[in-house]
Amino acid sequence: MQFPSVQDIQYRLIVDRRLTAILVGLAIGAGAALLGLLLAAGGPALAIGAVAGTAIGLYMLTDLTAALYATIGAVGLLPFATLPVKVALVPTVIDCAMGAFILVYLFQWMTGKRSGLRTVPGHVLILVFIGYCIFCFVAGLGNAALTPAILREFVELMLAVSLALILPDVARDEGFLRRITLIFIVVGVTEALIGLALYVINPDTAERILLALSRFGYPNGGVIRYIQDDPTMAERAVGTWVDPNAYGGFLMMVAALTGVQVLAPQPVTGRRWLVVLAFAILCAALVATISRGAVVALAAVVLFVSALRYRWLMALIILGTALLLALPFTQAYIDHFVQGVTGEDLSTQMRFGEIKDALTLIGRYPVIGVGFAGTPDKDVYLGVSMLYLKIAGATGLVGLALFLVTIGEVFRYGLVRWRRLNASPGLFNLWLGFTAGIVGALVSGIFDHYYFNIEFIGAAMMFWMYVGLSLAAVRIAETNPSPLPDRTI
């Protein structure tokens, strides 16, 4: 056998280096050309965004935690943003972040970096609910033309629900849950500050700022909102969520998590004054949305937290209610609530009409609903501002029952392990915060529909991430010793 000489080896190394240099040079040239094209076509903002997005995307593909953080950031800060490119479909920022998270999670299993799948009893019900939604989606395709947008949005919704399956396996210790909670608070406060800043400045200036997002899939007009969409009435904070009610729902869920941390023995922010400040900012932005459903939901959260652990909060609820009723500058806000309760304002009357039409739809198709694409009858429609009627219209009463049983299992799972959770105060408050957020969403669902709407995937992801993290907290508590046996329900 003849071995290569030293000269041959040196020659091959030189050739390899030259080939590598050529390839690197071509890659740099192509990158520079693409960057120049982006600068010429879209300006510096688009070019910088593309470079930063590519770098963040590549990093997310190497780190599961970073992908999860990016997903939370995308949901909170850019819930409707799309990429300025089209590959068959127009991908959204949430699609990219959530897709990277799920992809890295699956890769970890395929490469053996993750083992010992952690499941909870509620996983079976969640899987059944996902399967039934897919069945209803397919069964309803004959009711309206299937568009790429509807298909993408439905897949997004199912992936959002699947986060409740993945997160209990990903979050395996209290430290991880504390970091996730901190990310939620930081993102929520950032979005609240954005909303407040846009709210206090001149509406025309705020409109121009938000219109800059139109190149990323946001509306190109009418983004500043008012009560009853009447510019002569009070302005409503929208942040980057465009819709003030959806924005209020997001702020409410983060405020529920943050408020419980105010009461925690060791807040995730380290210093208690920081979490108190964060809660105040979130509440201020929530009030500025003038979302009655979100405010009522936050009040329900306070009642839930006080009933489960902090009974002295009842006194604060009574005091706060008395102040709202007595202070002069809150009277307009109170009047707006009274008009909603009595059905005197136009928006409430429209919702009553939607509810009537939704009940007609459910009465005609009570078992499996009409799916997610459209309705077979011209005199009814899928749009209704109530979570439960929205689910029933799309998946029938069977689907609504599956949803309620699934969420009921989430609460049951935590309550039967109450003593194990109680043995770890920090873990208990994490569970209480996520569960309180779910309670708030369920109450808000009486007035709004965003947590199960294919057009508001950010709100749906918030809900199902909280479900998954609530289950994860209880799953972690199961590994902790308990001085007393758990109850059985």
pTM listed for this prediction: 0.87
SS3 290: coil
Q: Tell me which amino acid residue 181 is.
A: T
- As a whole number of angstroms, the distance between CA 133 and CA 149 comes to 17
Which distant-in-sequence residues (6+ apart) come within 8 Å of 390 by Cβ? Answer: 358, 382, 384, 449, 452, 453
Question: What does the pLDDT read at residue 57?
Answer: 52
CB 477 within 8 A of CB 417: yes
> What is the DSSP secondary structure assignment for residue 214, as one 8-state letter?
G
**Neighbour count for residue 332 (Cβ, 10 Å):** 11
Among 433, 419, 441, 416, which residue's Cα sits nearest to residue 469? 433
Question: What does the pLDDT read at residue 229?
Answer: 83
Question: What does the pLDDT read at residue 221?
Answer: 82
**pLDDT for 210-247, tens place per residue?**
998 888 888 888 889 998 888 888 899 999 998 999 99
Tokens of 342: 């009595």
Residue 271: burial class (beta carbons within 10 Å; 0-12, 13-18, 19+): exposed
- As a whole number of angstroms, the distance between CA 269 and CA 185 comes to 9
Give every residue of the chain whose pLDDT is below 50, as ranges: 13, 45, 47, 50, 483-484, 487-489
- As a whole number of angstroms, the distance between CA 28 and CA 208 comes to 36
First to last CA, the chain: 77
Element holding 92 (H helix, E strand):
none
Domain residue extents for the chain: 54-477
CB 203 within 8 A of CB 238: no
CB 471 within 8 A of CB 167: yes
CB 69 within 8 A of CB 63: no
- As a whole number of angstroms, the distance between CA 291 and CA 234 comes to 12
CB 469 within 8 A of CB 436: no
Question: What does the pLDDT read at residue 398?
Answer: 96
